[in-house]
Amino acid sequence: MAIAELTHFIGGKHIKGTSGRFADVYWPMTGEVAARVPLASKAELTAAVANAKEAQAKWGAENPQRRGRVLAKFVALINRDMDKLADKLSREHGKTIADAKGDIQRGLEVAEFATGIPHLMKGEFTDNAGPGIDMYSLRQPLGVVAGITPFNFPAMIPLWKCCPAIACGNAFILKPSERDPSVPLMLAELFLEAGLPPGILNVVNGDREAVDGILDDPDVQAVGFVGSTPIASYVYSRATANGKRAQCFGGAKNHMVIMPDADMDQAVDALIGAGYGSAGERCMAISVAVPIGKKTADALIKKLIPRVESLKVGTSVDPSADFGPLVTRDAVNRVKGYVETGIKEGAKLLVDGRGFKMQGYENGFYMGGCLFDNVTADMKIYKEEIFGPVLSVVRAKDYDEGLKLVNDHEYGNGVAIYTRDGDTARDFAAKCKIGMVGINVPIPVPLAYHTFGGWKRSGFGDLNQHGPDSIRFYTRTKTVTSRWPSGVKEGAEFSIPTMG
């Protein structure tokens, strides 16, 4: 297979990298190197920002209805090219075609939300706030903003970041993951076809050098990040120290609490899909099951074991596969290392998928599903995000202990509870210290017109992704107080102005 050489996308053109540094892009299902992606130098990043800054002034002055029309055309083009985008995404990431289409669709919904920008950017107005005085507010774009996005959702999260930002009148610098950069480049091409002016969306591939360039560039006004918690903390601290707005989302350890009255078949279905879908490489994956009481735990384990054993691992393009390979060989080795640690810590490994081999694809990055029982809160496999097809069962004696487990964990991204009791569900939703809660819903990702974000060490910053928060994040509010001379009493006023 010929190895392609990818580019940056700057000023509406594909630009070859000049740093001399490259990273390999793999096809996880075969283990082959499919492409090389250039890693930008700080100078290349600075040039992209300068290009964006020059283009932004005119774009920001466009009326929001015209910007919304570009977003609407972009939505139509994504729908037109859905199959092509999904095929490329699945081959570079490893997730199945169906899962890849879901990745794109959830990003598409935020683009659809952003088409409503004429309404979303409306300010407030008060007539006759004082004698002859009117008061109104404006929302104005920040200028150049940036997004640093992860490998596990190479379409969804770039779209979550760039669509509201662009709709608000900003220019956007996207630094996607170097592991699967092709879909972000394809999205940039579609934006250009939709009528977005050159320079408003720039894709700069890179590693830490490009990230630090974004964080230090004085013309970048805001940064959004999704990735691991240590890097989220680093990006947030460095960005805010440089006077930038920042919204940074990190790791997760999402629990599902199963009450004794839960529909057990429904709960097991939810755990299988939410725990093992996309090989567990989701920040909203359920990685911890918390059955309440021994009877519930025993019943859950009895049903889980055969379901995990029967999971079908396949290639990215196999329509019958439950999940495909992990993104890299390093990712497989990392997950296997966690499983070995769990065994050493005393957890009971009920299903071991480490030995899985895909016939005909022996060099691919595959791993079968794993299931642990008797995991405790002091174990590394409970404390840390594994990001693989591994589900841990932590038994709790009662509801209060289960709630405490959820609230005591350092991560607070998502959580679910399965129960038939409305009082229990309402109490749990009120008391859990988690950003997104599902009641009989395993992966509670809010729709585009609500906001997405975790608490505690899962999120840094005051404003979340998509929904109304995204409009607030990518704009500044300006409040104007106006009075015209006619009929105004002459003379200086030395006391603080009031509207009495």
Catalytically annotated residues: 283
Measured from the Cβ of residue 162, the count of other Cβ atoms closer than 10 Å reads 32
Determine the Cα–Cα distance for residues 347 and 340; give it in Å rounded to an integer.
Answer: 10
| 3-class DSSP assignment, residue 188 | helix
288 to 114, 432, 487: CA distances (angstroms):
34, 15, 70
Measured from the Cβ of residue 305, the count of other Cβ atoms closer than 10 Å reads 14
Question: CA torsion angle for 446, 452, 457, 463 (degrees, to 10)?
Answer: -150
CB 6 within 8 A of CB 188: no
432 to 259, 400, 425: CA distances (angstroms):
15, 11, 11
Tokens of 85: 């985008």
Helix (H) or strand (E) holding 13: strand 13-15
Q: E strands within 103-236?
A: 125-130, 133-141, 144-148, 171-175, 201-203, 220-226
- How do beta strands 220-226 and 13-15 pair? unpaired
Determine the Cα–Cα distance for residues 333 and 218; give it in Å rounded to an integer.
Answer: 39
**Tokens 């038994």 sit at which residue?**
395
Q: Rounded to 5 degrees, what angle do the CA atoms 170, 171, 173 make? A: 130
CB 165 within 8 A of CB 114: no
Helix (H) or strand (E) holding 288: strand 286-291
- DSSP states of 417-469: EE-S-HHHHHHHHHH---SEEEES-SS-PPPTTS-B--EETTEESSS-BSTHH
389 to 101, 206, 331, 392, 415: CA distances (angstroms):
20, 28, 11, 10, 18
Q: Rounded to 5 degrees, what angle do the CA atoms 477, 482, 485 make? A: 165
φ and ψ of 315, to 5 deg: -70, 165
**Beta-ladder partners of 141:** 475
CB 402 within 8 A of CB 290: yes
5 to 25, 33, 500: CA distances (angstroms):
10, 11, 68
